[in-house]
Amino acid sequence: MTKLTIIIPTFNEEEFIAQAIRSAAFADEILIIDSYSEDRTLEIAGQHTVTVCQREFDDFSSQKNYAIDQARHDWIFILDADEVIMPGLREEIISELLKEDTCSAYEVGTVRMFMGREMQYGTAKNDTKTLLFNRKHCRFGNKLVHENLVVKGKTGALKNHIMHYTYRGFDHFIGKKNHYAWLQAREMFATGKKANLFHILVKPAFRFFSEYILKRGFMDGFPGFVSAYINSYGVMTRYIKLWLLQHKQK
């Protein structure tokens, strides 16, 4: 089989890191790229056969590109610390890497667990990411958040999925949205975009309507409402932060 490195980015992931590592144990190398965690993440990771490198976090794309350069093998799978490779996906990856004719990269479906519920509607529906790839043909672009993998060649799709545990407490979830909002605001500010009342008042409302009504987030019960509401909050704070950057405030 072609050798595989699974890269796991971490920062204060003590709650989930062990299960992520266990699900990645079939790989030839597990590489932890840590942003100087302040909890027990590295202590727990050290109980497993992993390689650890540390780097100050600046943005998601740079962090992952740095880790890709440290990997021992050309085939890479990016696994967030709050994600788990399900058994079916593990077997599919092994089977795919045994083939002589492979794509440059592969999209993988995501099942999202939120507030104890497996989400099936809203933004969780048809959620896929390009996670398995050959680094000879792929590199992350310059987006600071929701980073995009630039692929030279054909992208295939795997049938099985990862499980993503997106919720570990309300304060953490809000903090994550605020962190993403600052990165997105910086990205927009760098391209000359400006925030106005339309962005702050209308776009968040439409985001909620789109996720909760058009994409039927209401079918996921109360967690579906919370997800749509907090995601609309994330849109609002993104543009508020952009306005603050425009006016040299924090």
**Mean pLDDT of the 3-18 span:** 95
- Tokens representing 159 are 């049938």
Average pLDDT of every residue of the chain: 92
pLDDT of residue 148: 82
Nearest Cα to Cα of residue 2 among 134, 159, 155: 134
Neighbours of 53 (CB within 10 A): 14
- Tokens representing 219 are 């079918």
Alpha-carbon torsion (26, 27, 29, 30), positive or negative: negative
Tell me how far apart the alpha carbons of residues 31 and 21 are, in angstroms, rounded to a whole number.
10
- Tokens representing 182 are 């600052």
Tell me how far apart the alpha carbons of residues 76 and 65 are, in angstroms, rounded to a whole number.
11
Is the per-residue pLDDT at 250 higher than 80? no
Q: How large a percentage of the chain has pLDDT more than 70?
A: 98
Count CA atoms within 13 Å of residue 190 on its CB side.
9
Quick check: 79 and 110 in contact, CB under 8 A?
no
Q: Give me the torsion for CA of 81, 87, 91, 97, rounded to 10°.
A: -10
pLDDT of residue 66: 96
- Tokens representing 233 are 């909050």
Give the rounded distance of the alpha carbon of 178 from its chain centre: 15
pLDDT of residue 145: 67
Distance in angstroms between the alpha carbons of the first and the last residue of the chain:
51
Q: Tens digits of per-residue pLDDT, 59-78? A: 888 999 999 999 999 999 99
Q: How confident is the model at residue 167 (pLDDT cuts 50, 70, 90)?
A: confident
Q: How confident is the model at residue 144 (pLDDT cuts 50, 70, 90)?
A: low
Q: Tens digits of per-residue pLDDT, 184-193? A: 998 899 889 9
Q: How confident is the model at residue 1 (pLDDT cuts 50, 70, 90)?
A: low
- Tokens representing 147 are 């980073």
**Mean pLDDT of the 19-46 span:** 96
**What residue type is 114 in one-letter code?**
F
Length of the chain: 250
Q: Identify the weakest region by mean pLDDT among 8-12, 140-144, 175-179, 213-217.
A: 140-144
Which residue, chain included where needed, has tokens 């027990």?
40
List, in order, residues 6 or more apart from 169 with CB less than 8 Å away.
none
**Mean pLDDT of the 47-58 span:** 95
Q: Is 212 exposed, middle or buried (0-12, 13-18, 19+ CB in 10 A)?
A: buried
Please list, residue by residue across 125-144, b when 16 or more beta carbons sit within 10 angstroms of its beta carbon and e when fewer do.
eebebbbbbbbebbbbeeeb
Superfamily for domain range 4-165: Spore Coat Polysaccharide Biosynthesis Protein SpsA; Chain A (3.90.550.10)
Question: Given the DSSP bridges, would you call strands 105-114 and 155-165 parallel, antiparallel or unpaired?
Answer: parallel
Q: How confident is the model at residue 194 (pLDDT cuts 50, 70, 90)?
A: very high
Domain boundaries, the chain: 4-165, 170-246
pLDDT of residue 249: 80
Is the per-residue pLDDT at 3 higher than 90? yes
Q: What is the pTM of this model?
A: 0.85
